[in-house]
Amino acid sequence: MAPPSQDDDPTRSDPIRPEIVPGGPIGDDEPEEVEGGGFDLSSLLDSAQQLMSAQQEAAESELVGSAGGGKVEVTVTGGGEFRHVRISPDVVDPADVSLLEDLVLAALRDAMARINAAQSAALGGLDLGALGGLLGDR
């Protein structure tokens, strides 16, 4: 017969399984303070709302990416929806289509870089509290 293990000790509390106390308050309106460095759920929810608001604001903004000194422009929303492409007629050379292709691609890349910068700027000013740790260090 095997010697008794710690798992067999009924007086030992299990950190994974919480102790159920019969007759405890249910639906108590007062939040319980968490011992040992817990986090405030209300603060976490406020931070999440701030984050969602900033993301929505960034997604609704329009940004313009450009290339060739402004000869090719791409308008895009912060959410990544492309709205408009403007190409100056003087860069349209039927003999050099690859130049125009490169300019359009460069304008698209510039637009995406501006989206990333706008999103970072929108999030940079937020006090994310406990939520900030979930997103990693910047």
Would you list the domain boundaries of the chain? Answer: 63-126
Looking at residue 137, what is its pLDDT?
47
Q: What are phi and psi of 9, to 5 degrees?
A: -80, 110
- Rg of the chain, C-alpha, whole Å: 28
Q: What is the pLDDT along the chain (138 residues), one digit of tens a residue?
A: 555 555 555 555 554 544 544 554 554 444 445 555 566 788 888 888 888 887 788 788 899 999 999 999 999 988 888 999 999 999 999 999 999 999 999 999 999 999 888 888 877 766 555 555 555 544
CA distance 76 to 128: 27
The architecture of the domain spanning 63-126 is: 2-Layer Sandwich (3.30)
pTM score of the predicted model: 0.53
Helix (H, G, I), strand (E, B) or coil at 83: strand
